[in-house]
Amino acid sequence: MKDFLLNLNEIKNILIIRLSSLGDILLTTPLIRSLNEKYCGIKVDFVLREQYEDLLKYNNNIENLFLYKKDNTNNVVLFNELKNRNYDLVVDLQNNLRSAEIRRKLKVRSVIFEKKTIDKFFLVHFKINRFKGPQEIPKRYGETLPGFSLDNKGLELFYPRDIKSELNDDEKFIGIAPGSRHFTKMWPKQYFIDLCKMISNDGFRIVIFGGKSDINLCAELAEKTPGSINLCNDDKILFTVANIKKCKVVICNDSGLMHAATAVGTPVLAIFGSTVREFGFTPYKSKNLILENKLLTCRPCTHIGRESCPKKHFKCMLELTPVLAYSKLKEILN
């Protein structure tokens, strides 16, 4: 590893592996940008799952973007293409069986992201905190390269100018992104409905965002919020962020859309339930407030989310009332 430190500025051809998911991929963008800024002539290639292509498709800091198929069809062609690139270094930020397969096929010197699985296990199951405060994931990605440090800028998500926002410039918009993959990371639907009423009464117009899995939730929220605009769609992330950029604030759960909002410079009010800041997935270098219940001894009960509250009370979300969220929204607006 010491040799690697000495020769980092001689490495010209790097492959970064981060196959999924939305937020995790966006959190790699400070590393991609910083590599290009600090090492003249370096070429950074990236491989990710095909469904996330749009996240990096227009990122000029990437030389070549390669698409991995989850069902493993046609990945033989991908592996051969990657072999022909003759990489000096592979940076595996996924660190799972699929990324290990890519590294094994390439047989190239590699560095691997440390997931800190044991530290997360101790915090979740024994409430023993071995983290030294919140360790933001982009910085930890950067530390995967020994001796390397990131610049001081945030996430990036680029989209072409022909993707136009449907929101006009004459109104004040507050974005609502009510979805998440796991129940324990989702603020209650009725709380979002109640909060939307308060916001609407203040003269703001509600815009609802979500992906394929959020369609029913967003439709019901729109129905209960007169005058709202429902822009939930079939995972068209570039269309979504073009409209998120027009919002004063986006109110969201600990989710991929939280990171998408920060990547286009929109302030976020993020609601954390079963997860905590120590895991590192906080809004990165952006204007934000995190709403969480710090009084509970049962948090965190997971590092990714659960389908139900193991204690059956769900206080981590239920005690974060719409009135409290409304006061925090006022705080971030001011």
Inform me whether the pLDDT recorded for 1 exceeds 50.
no
Separation of alpha carbons 71 and 277, rounded Å: 33
Between 257 and 148, name the one with better pLDDT: 257
Q: Give the CA radius of gyration of the chain.
A: 21
Residue 200 shares a structural domain with residue 62: no
pLDDT tens digit sequence for 34-81: 999 998 889 999 999 999 999 999 999 999 999 999 877 678 999 999
Residue 46 shares a structural domain with residue 116: yes
Share of the chain above pLDDT 90, in %: 91
Residue 151 located in a structural domain: no
Q: In what order do the strands lie in the sheet with 249-253?
A: 229-230, 205-208, 173-177, 249-253, 268-271, 288-291
The lowest-confidence range among 65-79, 111-125, 283-297 is 65-79
Residue 161 located in a structural domain: no
β partners of residue 173: 205
80 burial level (CB within 10 Å; 0-12, 13-18, 19+)? exposed
As separate numbers, helices (DSSP H) first and strands (DSSP E) second, the chain gives: 13, 11
Between 98 and 8, name the one with better pLDDT: 98
pLDDT tens digit sequence for 311-322: 999 999 999 999
For the chain, the domain total comes to: 2
- Which of 143, 165, 184 is the last residue in one of the domains? 143
Predicted model pTM: 0.96
Residue 159 located in a structural domain: no
Residue 122 shares a structural domain with residue 238: no
Residue 52 shares a structural domain with residue 191: no
Residue 124 shares a structural domain with residue 192: no
Residue 256 shares a structural domain with residue 315: yes
The confidence band for 2, taking pLDDT boundaries of 50, 70 and 90, is very low
- Which of 143, 162, 184 is the last residue in one of the domains? 143
Inform me whether the pLDDT recorded for 7 exceeds 80.
no
Residues 211 and 190: beta-carbon distance below 8 Å: no
Separation of alpha carbons 155 and 170, rounded Å: 28
Residue 209 shares a structural domain with residue 326: yes
Residue 126 located in a structural domain: yes
Separation of alpha carbons 29 and 50, rounded Å: 17
- Owning domain of residue 329: 173-333
pLDDT tens digit sequence for 201-216: 999 999 999 999 999 9
Q: Average pLDDT of the chain? A: 95
Residue 178 located in a structural domain: yes
Residue 327 shares a structural domain with residue 221: yes
Residue 133 shares a structural domain with residue 11: yes
Residues 229 and 150: beta-carbon distance below 8 Å: no
Residue 269 shares a structural domain with residue 309: yes
CATH of the domain at 99: 3.40.50.2000
pLDDT tens digit sequence for 193-251: 999 999 999 999 999 999 999 999 999 999 999 999 999 999 999 999 999 999 999 99
Residue 149 located in a structural domain: no
Residue 203 shares a structural domain with residue 60: no
Q: Respond yes or no on whether the N-terminal peptide bond of residue 21 is cis (omega within 30° of 0).
A: yes
- Which of 143, 165, 196 is the last residue in one of the domains? 143
Residue 222 shares a structural domain with residue 321: yes
Tokens read off for 82: 């990657």
Residue 318 located in a structural domain: yes
Residue 162 located in a structural domain: no
